[in-house]
Structure 1
Amino acid sequence: MSEDRIALGTARGRWVLAATALGSGMAFLDGTVVNVALPAMGKDLNADMAGLQWIVNGYMLMLASLVLLSGSLGDRLGRRRTFVVGVIWFAAASIVCAIAPTLQIMIAGRVLQGIGGALLTPGSLAILQTTFQHSDRGKAVGLWSGLTSVAAAVGPFVGGTLVDSGSWQAIFLLNAPIALVTVLVTLRHVPETRDESAGGKLDFSGAVLATVGLAGFTYGLISAGDHGFSDPVVLASLLVGVIAFGGFIEVERRSSHPMLPLSIFANRRFTGANLVTIVVYGALGTATFLVVVYLQTGLGYSALWAGASLLPMTALMLGLSGYAGGLSDRIGARIPMTVGPILMAGGFLLMLRIKPDGNYFTDVLPAVVLLGLGLVSTVAPLTATVLSSVDDHHAGIASGVNNAIARSAQLMAVAAIPMAAGITGDAYRNPAAFHDGFGNALWISAVLAVAGGVIAWVTLGDRGTLVPIHHHTHCAMEAPPYAHQKATA
C-alpha cells in the first residue's frame, strides 16, 4: 500500500484533506452551536434543566460508548466506507433534530447524532494516517486540526446568528449541505483502506455494556435532581449502571480483542494522565455547558454574544498549544499539567464575579482568558503523555481510550454537577435561582480542576521522559484529539 500513498501537495491530497476536515468540522461545528441554542430550544420544547442535560448528554452518551468500537470497525470494513456512513448518519440525525416537535424526539435525534459522530470521528484521522505519505502525515494532521478548529471557532457566530434570527432549527439543517459535499468529495477522491491483518471478533458485548452502564448512571444522576436518590427509578438506574460496568470490566478482562484493553492501565503515567482527564474535562464540560446558558438567561446576552464570549479561550488554544507542547517536550509534562489545572480552577473562581449587571470586559473576559491559559498548559502535555506512555503500536488505542474517557467524564459531570449545585427543574429560567446554583457549580468545577493538578504532580514524576511528538494546534475543549491508527499503517 505504501507505494500508493498520496502526497499532500497534490490536487488529490488537498481533496482528501478537505473531505476529512469537512466531515470532522461538521461535528465540531454542531458541538459548539448546540450549547449556544440550548435556552431557545428549552423554551420551544418546554424543557426543564434535565431536558437540556439530555440534549447535550444524548449525543455524548453514544459518542463515548462507541468511538473505540467504530475505530476497529473502520479497520475491518474500510475507513472510507465507515466515514461516509458516519457522515450520512450524522446528517440524517441532524434533520430529525431540526424537525423535532417534542423534547423526546429531539433527544432521540441527538442520540442518533452521537452514533454518526462515533463513526466519523476516528475515521477522519485514520484516513489521513493511512492515505498520505509518511513524510506528509504530520503536516496533514496539523492542517486538519487547524481547519476543524476554525469550524469550532465560527460555531458560536453561526449558531448565535441563527438562534437570534428565531430559527434554532437551522443549526441542524446546516449539516445537510456540508454532509452532501463531504460525501461527494470522499467518494470521488479518497481511496479505501483497511487493515488486512485485523482479526478476531468486534467487541460488541463491551460496547453494549458500556452504553448501558453510562446510560444508567446518566439517567439516574439527572433524575436524582428532581426526584432524589431515594426514588425507586433513580436507584434502579444507578444499580443498572453499576451492574453493567461490572460486566463491562469482566468482558474486557476476558476478551481476546477488547475495545478497552485493561492492561494498558498498568502504566502509571498513562493511568495518571487519564485520571487528570476525568476531573479536568468533567469540570470543563460542566462549566462551559452552564456559562453559555447563564449569560443568556441571567445576564440577558443574545445567543450570538453568549457564544462569542468564550472565543478568547479558543483563540489562546489555537495560538499557544504548539508552544505548550514544545515546552512539555523540554521540561516534561509534570509541571505544565500541575500548573494548567490550577489556572483553570482560578478561571472558574473568577467566573464567580459574573453578576446580572456585570460588564463583559471586567467580569467575564479575565476568567475566560485565565481558563484558556490553563487549557493551553494542560491539553498538549496531556496528549503527549498519553501517547508517549505506551509502545508505538498502541498509540492509536491509547489516544482512543483517552478520548472516550474525556467524553465519559463530561457526560457524567454534566449529569451530576448541576444536580449537586442545585440547578434542577426550571431553575435555569429563574435568574436568581440560577445565579446561586451557577456559583455552586463553579466551586465544584474548581475543586475538580485542583484535584487534576494534584494527580498530575503525584503520578507524573520525573521518571520516564516524554518521547517528542508533533504537537498540532487543535481546539480540544470537548475532548483530546482522536488518533485511531497503527504504527505500521
Structure 2
Amino acid sequence: MTNALPFPCATEAARAEGSEGDCLDPKGTLLATILGSSLAFIVGSIINVALPQMEATFDAGPTGIQWIVNAYLLPLGALVLIGGAMGDIYGRKLIFQWGLGIFSVACIICAVAWSLPVLLFGRALEGIGAAMLAPTSLAIIADGFSGRARSAAIGTWAAAGAAAGAAAPLLGGIIVDVAGWRWAFVAVTPIAIYAMIVARKSVRESKAREDSSALDWTGAGLSGSGLFALIWALIALPDQGPTAPVLAALVIGTALLFSFVAVERRLGDAAMTPLVLFHNPTFSGLSLLTLCLYAALGGLLVLLPYVLIRELGYSATAAGAAILPFPLVMGLLSRFVGGAMTDRYGTRTLLVAGSVLVALGFALFAQIPSGEVVYWLHLFPGLIVMALGMAASVAPLTTAVLNSAGARYTGVASGINNAISRIAGLLATAFLGLVLIGAADDLIAGFAAAAWAGVALSLLSAATAYLLVARTEPA
C-alpha cells in the first residue's frame, strides 16, 4: 500500500455521506476491496489449471468442463447488476460483507463436493457472492477517492488484482499437483474471511440512492432469466446441435432481454439499469470495448491452460508457471499506467494503444505451429505483448467508466461494466465448446483459430475507443 492515497473522507462525496466519525482507515479500505475483488481472479486462475483434474474426477467431458466454468460466470454475469444496485440502496459495505460471507461458504461446498451437481451448485453460489463483491468494491473506492487520487487507487486495485492473478495459477498448480484440486478451494477461504474482518473494521458505509426504497425486481428477473436462457443455449449448441430446446432457449432468452430493455426504459431513474447512462457516447463506447476485449481475453485464459496440460503434457504447476508472465507484468505496470501515464497521455490514447497491443499478442499466438511447440519462442512473446496491452487498458478503462457515469450512478455503472465483462467471458467459454469438440484431434489448430478471433475482437476494441471515447486532455 501507499501513503500517497488520501483518506477516504477527504472527498466531498464522502463528507456528504456521513460524519467524520464514519471515516475509517484508508489503507484498510483499499486492502479490503482489493482482497474481495481479487477473489474472482484467484478462483478463476486456479480453476483454469485444475480443469483437467476436475474433468477426470467427475468424468465431465467437454460440456462438463464448460459448465464448471460457466456455473460460476452465469450467476455472476446475470446478478452483478443487482449487486451494484443493492449496494447503492442498502449500503455498499453491507452488501460487500454479505458477498464475502456467501463466497466463503461456497468455497467450502466446492471443496467437499461429492458429485458434479454439488460442485456446480457451489460454483453457482461463488458466482452469487462475487456478483455482490465486484461492483461494490469499485463503488467503495469511487466513494472514497476522486480525481488523480481515484486513478491511483484504481491503478493500485488493478495491479493488486493482477498480482493475485499472477500468484494464483502457480500456487494453484502446486496445490493441484501435490494435494488435489479440492484443496485449492480450501486455500481461498481464509482470504475471504480475512477480507471480511478488514472490511468490518476499515470500510465506511456509503449509499448513493437514498431516495429509492426497493430494487427493480422486474428488471432483475428479466435480465437474469434472459441471460441464463441465452447462455445455456450457446453452451448446449455445440454439443446438442440446433435442437428444439436449444432454439427455444435462444428465442426466449432474446425476448426476455428485449423485455428487460423496455422495462428499464419505462422506469427511467428507478430502473436497475438506467438507460440514460447509454446516452453518453463515451459510456456506450467503453461498454462495447469491455465486451470485445474481455471476450477475447476470457477465451484465452480458459483455453491456454487446457492446451498446455492436455496437448503439450504440462503439469498443473508448469501450466501455472507458464502463464505467470501475463498477470505479473500486468500487475507491475497497472498502477503506473493508472496514474502517471493516464495523466500524461489521456484515456483514449491508452485504450487504443492497449487494444492494439492485445491484438498483436493474439496474432503472435496464432502463429503457433502444429508440430513442436517451444514455449519461449511460440508462447512467451505473445503473453508479454498481451500483458503490456492489458496493463495499458484496465485501469484507464475502469476509471473512465466511473467518471463518465457521475457520482449518482457509480455503483450502477460499476455493476454494468462488471456484468458486461462477465457476460463477455460467458460468451467466450460458450463458444469454446466449438473449439473443444470441433478440434478434439488437434487442439493446437483450434487454439490458433481462437487466437485469430481474439485479434479481430481486440482490433474492434481499438476502433471503438478511437471513435466513441471522448478525448481527455493530458495533465
**Is the aligned partner of 1:6 residue 2:23?**
yes
| CA shift digits 1:443-485 (9 cap, x unpaired) | 222222222222333334xxx442779xxxxxxxxxxxxxxxx
Q: 1:466 aligns with which of 464, 467, 472?
A: 472
Aligned to 2:108: 95
Aligned to 2:316: 303
CA shift for structure 1 position 255? 1.6
Aligned to 2:249: 237
CA shift for structure 1 position 190? 4.7
| CA shift digits 1:103-159 (9 cap, x unpaired) | 222222111111011122233344455578999877665555444443222111221
Unaligned ranges ≥5, structure 2: 1-17
Number of aligned residue pairs: 455
Supply the distance in 1 between the matched residues of 2:255 and 2:192 (Cα, whole angstroms).
38
Aligned to 2:448: 439
Aligned to 2:176: 163
- Go from structure 1 to structure 2 and tell me whether the alpha carbon gap of 1:442 and 1:189 turns closer, same or farther (over 3 Å shift): closer
Query: Normalized against structure 1, the TM-score is what?
Result: 0.84
Give secondary structure in 2 for the equivalent of 1:276. helix
Aligned to 1:358: 373
Please tell me the residue identity of whatever aligns with 2:415.
G
Asked if the contact 1:329–1:466 (Cα under 8 Å) also holds between the matched residues in 2, the reply is: no
Q: 2:214 aligns with which of 183, 201, 223?
A: 201
Aligned to 1:486: none
Aligned to 1:40: 53
CA shift for structure 1 position 243? 1.3
Alignment of 1:251-330 (within 5 A): 251-256=263-268, 257-325=270-338, 326-330=340-344
Asked if the contact 1:6–1:132 (Cα under 8 Å) also holds between the matched residues in 2, the reply is: no
Aligned to 1:454: 463
- Go from structure 1 to structure 2 and tell me whether the alpha carbon gap of 1:275 and 1:141 turns closer, same or farther (over 3 Å shift): closer
Aligned to 2:94: 81
Deviates more, 1:182-191 or 1:195-204: 182-191
Unaligned ranges ≥5, structure 1: 470-489
Asked if the contact 1:218–1:411 (Cα under 8 Å) also holds between the matched residues in 2, the reply is: yes
- Go from structure 1 to structure 2 and tell me whether the alpha carbon gap of 1:30 and 1:110 turns closer, same or farther (over 3 Å shift): same
Deviates more, 1:272-281 or 1:335-344: 335-344
Aligned to 2:354: 340
- Go from structure 1 to structure 2 and tell me whether the alpha carbon gap of 1:467 and 1:63 turns closer, same or farther (over 3 Å shift): farther
Alignment of 1:169-208 (within 5 A): 169-188=182-201, 190=203, 192-194=205-207, 197-208=210-221
**Is the aligned partner of 1:220 residue 2:233?**
yes
**Is the aligned partner of 1:401 residue 2:413?**
no
Supply the distance in 2 between the matched residues of 1:336 and 1:185 (Cα, whole angstroms).
34
Please tell me the residue identity of whatever aligns with 2:445.
D
CA shift for structure 1 position 161? 0.5
Supply the distance in 2 between the matched residues of 1:153 and 1:398 (Cα, whole angstroms).
27
- Go from structure 1 to structure 2 and tell me whether the alpha carbon gap of 1:18 and 1:273 turns closer, same or farther (over 3 Å shift): closer
CA shift for structure 1 position 77? 2.9
Please tell me the residue identity of whatever aligns with 2:461.
G
Supply the distance in 1 between the matched residues of 2:256 and 2:365 (Cα, whole angstroms).
37
Supply the distance in 2 between the matched residues of 1:55 and 1:68 (Cα, whole angstroms).
22
Aligned to 2:437: 424
Deviates more, 1:362-371 or 1:127-136: 127-136
Supply the distance in 1 between the matched residues of 2:397 and 2:154 (Cα, whole angstroms).
18
Supply the distance in 1 between the matched residues of 2:361 and 2:325 (Cα, whole angstroms).
13
Asked if the contact 1:217–1:412 (Cα under 8 Å) also holds between the matched residues in 2, the reply is: no
| CA shift digits 1:16-38 (9 cap, x unpaired) | 44444433333332122111111
- Go from structure 1 to structure 2 and tell me whether the alpha carbon gap of 1:335 and 1:187 turns closer, same or farther (over 3 Å shift): closer
| CA shift digits 1:151-204 (9 cap, x unpaired) | 222111221011111410011122333333333444455554445724142012
CA shift for structure 1 position 433? 2.7
Deviates more, 1:135-144 or 1:91-100: 135-144
More helix by share: 2
Query: Normalized against structure 2, the TM-score is what?
Result: 0.86
Please tell me the residue identity of whatever aligns with 1:98.
A
- Go from structure 1 to structure 2 and tell me whether the alpha carbon gap of 1:327 and 1:74 turns closer, same or farther (over 3 Å shift): closer
Supply the distance in 2 between the matched residues of 1:324 and 1:141 (Cα, whole angstroms).
10
Supply the distance in 1 between the matched residues of 2:412 and 2:187 (Cα, whole angstroms).
32
Supply the distance in 2 between the matched residues of 1:135 and 1:270 (Cα, whole angstroms).
20
Supply the distance in 1 between the matched residues of 2:234 and 2:116 (Cα, whole angstroms).
19
Supply the distance in 1 between the matched residues of 2:234 and 2:383 (Cα, whole angstroms).
28
**Is the aligned partner of 1:389 residue 2:390?**
no
| CA shift digits 1:353-409 (9 cap, x unpaired) | 445632211111011111112223333343344334344443443333222111111
Aligned to 1:380: 395
